[in-house]
Amino acid sequence: MRALVTWLITAVAIAAAVWLVPGIDMIGSESSAVLSFVVLAAVLALLNALLKPILKLVALPITCLTLGLFALVINTFLLYLAVWIGNGLFNTGFYIDSFWSALGASIVISIVIAILNAVTGVKDKQET
């Protein structure tokens, strides 16, 4: 149940990023938008689970030198990769205009996820 709530929170965060950040657009009809958000959230969650720990470990020295700011670059790269995979495999219809748009979107996604996790308390609960 917790995984489903986290997945939906990520989909809402992606929708907020598309709505708030200029340069992040969704091409297609509004009827398929919800499905596209959910699919992109699943791809992003999969990449975060598989690649993010490896990238964080490899980039640890530069992350320490930049006082953690390089983690935003890692999140931006994973967002680019998720959009590329989502468009290639599932035709989700997302478009990222520039690196700065993707960076802004990754910041918005991180903030919205943190707020919604705090509101729902999904990260506080322990499953037994």
Domain boundaries, the chain: 2-120
**At residue 6, does pLDDT exceed 70?**
yes
Which amino acid, residue 56? K
How far apart are the C-alpha atoms of 58 and 50, rounded to whole Å?
14
**At residue 72, does pLDDT exceed 70?**
yes
What's the pTM?
0.90
Which amino acid, residue 45? A
DSSP string, 17-40: HHHHSTTEEE-S-GGGHHHHHHHH
User: pLDDT (tens digit, 9 = 90+) per residue, 13-40?
Assistant: 999 999 999 999 998 777 788 899 999 9
pLDDT at 124: 65
**At residue 127, does pLDDT exceed 60?**
no
Residue 79 CB contacts under 8 Å (≥ 6 apart), including other chains = 44, 96, 102, 105, 106, 109
**At residue 128, does pLDDT exceed 70?**
no
pLDDT at 125: 58
